[in-house]
Amino acid sequence: MKWNKFRLKTTTEAEDIVSSMLMDLGIQGVEIEDKIPLTQSDKEQMFVDILPQIEADDGVAYLSFYLEPEEDQEKILADVRRELKEMSAYVDVGECLIEESETEDVDWVNNWKQYFHQFYVDDILIIPSWEDVKPEDADKMVIHIDPGTAFGTGMHETTQLCIRQIRKYVTEETQILDVGCGSGILGMLALKFGAAHSVGTDLDPCAIDATHENMEVNGISKDKYEVMIGNIIDDKAVQDRVGYERYDIVVANILADVLVELTPVITHQLKKGGIYITSGIIDDKEQTVVDAVKAAGMEVLDVTYQGEWVCVTARK
């Protein structure tokens, strides 16, 4: 299906209010392009596998929106221009030039192919389906992961920190719980390292299909894992389904503020002596998570680092 794309040139000062105006006019899904530097809070929220490279702010912002051909585009654009003119009386909206182009529906998942290529986490080769294993990598552990709608390809530093800690503590008897499992990569690797069983929870329904697909393509049978949707922090039904004092390892690759809420709850899922692996922690939040772990009665075993990110490992 073809869409008409409209790209509005405005200012970074006005981008929020202009975006709000567009949505008030019934335009959904506005894309914002700017060069505003990331704040510390932004960096904490940029919990993605491939981080953006942002140039110096030049004060210019572009807002793009899409309209279907059958919509009354002339009326919509007239409304946009009228609102911009009124807005210009109290905020610098810039040039307000609107460029029009035609675009096809975008296959966002497959577009990741231009960015995602095979890479190594120590001696593990993580490779997408469209690339081949090189002869010199034949002796490595090979994990097949395709970028999809759920988080987790293994590229992010926090994921790699968790992988190393899981490998350090996993045994053939290990029952592992992955809170915020995303693509299922951590539970899958635990099983590849020899764990007995994996359970994953996530808030995003996309995690169900992503985990099943990744487990299947890596040859892991369905009796070895389970994945469920729900918030284990405050949903008793999820807590009951996950089970109590059942897990040798719990891994949570989530943001620090969520870990603070999760930690006193998750102690009930861990066996006595069980290992708690946490990451998603930007460096200036390390002490916050360490304090939460200690307050929950756990012993901090290890704190590891990669880039600006931290992994805190503890024992119940």
Q: Which residues of the chain have pLDDT under 50?
A: 43-51
Q: Residue with structure tokens 């986490």?
A: 121
pTM: 0.69
Q: Residue with structure tokens 């999760």?
A: 262
Please state the length of the chain: 316
Number of H helices, E strands in the chain: 10, 14
Amino acid occupying residue 194: G
Strand bridging mode 2-11 / 98-104? antiparallel
For residue 313 the two structure tokens come to: 């490992």
Q: Which of 115, 151, 148, 155 is nearest to 131 (CA)?
A: 115
What pLDDT, on the 0 to 100 scale, is given for residue 1?
A: 57
Helix (H, G, I), strand (E, B) or coil at 183: coil
Q: What is the percent of the chain where pLDDT is above 90?
A: 61
Summarised one tens digit per residue, pLDDT across range 141-155 is 999 987 665 567 788
